[in-house]
Amino acid sequence: MSTTTAPEQHSWLAALGFAALAFGSAALGALTMRGEGRPGGMWFRQLRKPAFQPPDRVFAPVWTVLYATIAYAGWKVWRTEPSRARTRALALWGTQLGLNAVWTPLFFGARRPAFALADVVALDAAAIGFAAAAREVAPAAARAVVPYLGWIGFATVLNAAIVVKNRHGRARP
């Protein structure tokens, strides 16, 4: 006999759904990092990068944790009472996740760092908007995404530095 109530089971299914969405967006990005555009590929290795570029091995573990916090934050907001503020927060959650999912295909797949920079700037705005909206309905969700906000801020600076260092066509396919 199960001790979990129907609403609790529904909540756990929703948590799995949020995790599937978050990690699914990561998988989409991973699919585009093949061939010359991947981090170990010729195109990426030939890019001029700033001295503060972390080693490639740092990105997978950091993003794994961040996608988990993104999923958790969305789920925490979803669990709150339906309201306009909740709807707004969830819309911003979806927006930031979509923009996040598009960055890797733009940068690595299409090899367009400048387009990726425009995307990550929009991502910054959507993620900050999500955090602010989440704070109204689920403060724990807003706190959970603070490391994510820091990382995408860093990613924006890194992306901008790569665009500047390769502005004379070096970053073209």
What is the rounded average pLDDT of the residues 39-62? 90
* pLDDT score of 34: 66
Dist. CA 70–CA 131, nearest whole Å: 10
* pLDDT score of 43: 87
Contact status, residue 22 vs residue 68, Cβ threshold 8 Å: yes
Q: One-letter amino acid identity for 30?
A: A
* pLDDT score of 21: 83
* pLDDT score of 38: 67
Q: One-letter amino acid identity for 131?
A: A
- The lowest-confidence range among 25-39, 60-74, 91-105, 124-138 is 25-39
Q: Which pTM value belongs to this model?
A: 0.86
- The lowest-confidence range among 15-24, 56-65, 115-124 is 15-24
What is the rounded average pLDDT of the residues 11-29? 82
The CB-based long-range contact list for 40-43 (8 Å cut-off, 24+ gap) reads 43/111, 43/173
* pLDDT score of 37: 60
Sketch out the chain's domains with CATH numbers: 6-165 (1.20.1260.100)
Cα distances (angstroms) measured from residue 80 to each of 11, 64, 74, 140, 155: 11, 25, 10, 11, 31
* pLDDT score of 28: 82
Dist. CA 53–CA 84, nearest whole Å: 40
* pLDDT score of 6: 40
* pLDDT score of 123: 98
- The lowest-confidence range among 31-40, 113-122, 162-171 is 31-40
